[in-house]
Structures are given as structure tokens and as C-alpha cells.
Amino acid sequence: MIVPRREDSLRLGSREFAPGEFALMAIINRTPDSFYDNGATFDLEPALEHLARAVSEGADIVDVGGVRAGYGPEVDATEELRRTSDFVAEARSRFPELVISIDTWRSEVADELCKLGADLVNDTWSGHDPELASVAAQHGAGLVCSHTGGIGPRTDPHRAAYADVVADVINTVTELAGKAVEAGVRADGILIDPTHDFGKNTRHSLELTRRLDELVATGWPVLVALSNKDFVGETLDLDKDRRLPGTLGATAISAWQGARVFRAHNVAETRQVLDMVASIKGDRPPAVARRGLA
């Protein structure tokens, strides 16, 4: 069942993002085996240095995770908290206005990190823990509602098939959003995420990008996590360290179609793309405008 949203405002932490304003979410992986950076921000000090750089380059949100999304060694809730709690506490202290997002599917982890100041629960595993929405509601935090095609945490798709992948995504994420509102989560703090690659093959992710306006039409703010993903790599036949141009192309397409939040590894480049799209759309004035005026 598609549950529409009737509001335009998006409120996360102390920030309110107006219609037409793109929010950029930087990624901090507190894992030794992260997909993209191979553990570069596993230790606290490098993670905080990366955070400061991301904020200076235009990040509005930081998303911190303590468990690799794909296959790997078991990480229990205690270890996940050990990896993330010090960063969340320090980030909250250093950047009071920054929106802090936590990438977890576990309600017990979300509960502790929200106590430390997290503003948004990024549930990339599509409501696997049914208590997660209640935890977000209890703390007044926002919630990301995602789509994985029914697969569980840390598993890859196998022969994923949909009659209509976009319809399946819309039905899943809007139903989760409706349940979140029923659980007490603020409607203006809920985002929907088509969750590229998760439970999908490359053609599915391309189709979702091409038809993203259909998700936008539900009225729920759309988050896209495109950065250096496998669908970009397979489309262009490139390794993960050469996928930035393809990522930025997909980012521009998604922004033009109305996505609101963009999860990215490469903050400075993504900020420039989002600012350019916003200016072309007429939602942002040029930073300077001298040409032809003298």
C-alpha cells in the first residue's frame, strides 16, 4: 500500500531543509574492512579528521556505521557500539549543528547512539528489527525507510527478480514510512531510500535512477546512496576507485528528479554537482555573477 506524505518540510536534528535544498550526507565507516576506504576511518582520530574535512567541504549530515554492509566477520551489538559511540559523542561535541546519522539495523544500538546525540537512524535493512522505529520515535530522531527485496542484513542478492522494481520499492518504503508514523516517528523526519544495489542487480538500480521521480511523487523525501556502488562499476566496467564520474552523473540525474539527501564518499565533488543542479533549477543563485555585467 502506498502511503503518501503531504508535507514539504524535512527536519533533522536542529536543521530544517527547505524544498529545493539538497542535503549532503558524508560517510564515516568505523570498520576495518569498509567497502570503499579499507578501514581508513576505523580509528577515532582519522575519523574525526575526515569529519572536519567533510564539514568544511559542505556536508550537512554525517552517517556513521560500525558494520560492513556486505559479508565479513560477525560484529555483535556490543562491538558495533564500541566502534561508533566515541565518534558520535565527539562529533556531537565538536559540531553542535551537524546532523548525525547512524547506519544500523539494531534497535539497541540506535537507542544508545541516540542518547549520545544522533539525530537520524539510517536503517538500510528495511525494518529488519521491528523495534527500530519505536526507538527513533522515543528519541525524536528521524528514520530512513529502505528496500532490500526481503534479504536480511549483510547478504547479497541472488537472482533478484521483480515484476516492476520501482513499484516494489515504492510499496515497501511507503508502507514502512506509514508504520513509522504510527510508531510515533515525526513525519517531517522520515526519508525513503530505494537502496541501490541492496537486493538488486545493476539493471534494477539503473531503472530506479531513471524513474526516481516516481518515488519523489509519493511526497516522502528521497535519500539516495549512489556513491561508488557496484551498479556504477558494472555499468562502466570500472573498479571502485575509478567510479567517481559515474557516481556524479547518477547524482545529477537524481537531484534533477527531486531527491533531497545524497549519501557520498566524495564530499567536495558531490557538493559542487548539487550546487550546480540547484542553480540550474533556479533554487540557488550563482556564487558570483560578473560575466556580461561590466
- The residues annotated as belonging to the active site are 229, 263
Nearest to 259 by CA among 294, 183, 208: 208
- Joined grid coordinates for residue 26: 558524508
Task: Say if CB 259 and CB 223 are below 8 A apart.
Answer: yes
Q: Judge contact between 147 and 198, C-beta under 8 A.
A: yes
- The type of residue at 289 is A
Exposed, middle or buried: residue 70 (CB in 10 Å: 0-12, 13-18, 19+)?
A: middle
- Let me know if 130 is exposed, middle or buried by CB neighbors in 10 A (0-12, 13-18, 19+): exposed
Pair 5, 187: CB distance under 8 Å:
yes
